[in-house]
Structure 1
């Protein structure tokens, strides 16, 4: 299993309950695809360098997880269809760097 990191930019209008709901959905997708979550890191509300969908602030969350290759495709599919997520970036982590 490979290690991955996904950075999510969530809408500031969601509120804590909305963010929690989205994160539960995404962690459920990871679990259902035989993945394991290593770390969930909430960076909090930040000012954006440029407006995204007319928003100047966003809530950043980082997920670190491991799993098979198809897991990333399914997770990104769910991210794309979830309201409240502006942007995301997934990278495969180098196992030698740790």
Structure 2
């Protein structure tokens, strides 16, 4: 039985673009080796952290939505913990409401995109 999951991980900001792509490819390949299917992926780019993690104040954010067997999650998270390039990660199981929202939202992010709508200017009149 497969479930749908969403994982977000933050990579250390000292990596080059090639090293960042290599890390993302490593985790996607791990999912494919475990018979997982990548449904959607977003590169949120470099973002400031809410608080310092490992004395770093920013990091490269990446989101992957995938389907897999629940046993693959433990293996994926073990790899996150072992990889020194990952400073934080979170994996959640998507319920039916989460899936409906994910499928209805427009494509966000992209290469280096923020994934956010532009801010509206305040009217001081």
Identify whether the pair has TM-score above 0.5, normalized to the shorter chain: yes
Match of 1:37? 38
SS at structure 2 position matched to 1:14: coil
Match of 1:65? 66
Q: How does 1:1-98 map to 2 (within 5 A)?
A: 1-97=2-98, 98=100
Equivalent residue pairs, number? 98
Which structure is larger by alpha-carbon Rg, 1 or 2?
Answer: 2
Quote the offset at 1:15 in angstroms: 1.4
Deviation digits for residues 33-82 of structure 1, max 9, x if unmatched? Answer: 11000111011111111111000111110010001011111111111111
Quote the offset at 1:96 in angstroms: 4.5
Structure 1: which 4+ aligned runs deviate by more than 2 Å? none
Cα distance in 1 for partners of 2:96, 2:66 equals 12
Unaligned segments of structure 1, at least 5 residues: none
Alignment TM-score, normalising by the size of structure 2: 0.75
The structure whose residues are more often strand, as a share, is: 1
Q: Is the 8 A contact 1:3 1:95 kept in 2?
A: no
Q: Is the 8 A contact 1:5 1:91 kept in 2?
A: yes
Alignment TM-score, normalising by the size of structure 1: 0.95
Unaligned segments of structure 2, at least 5 residues: 101-125
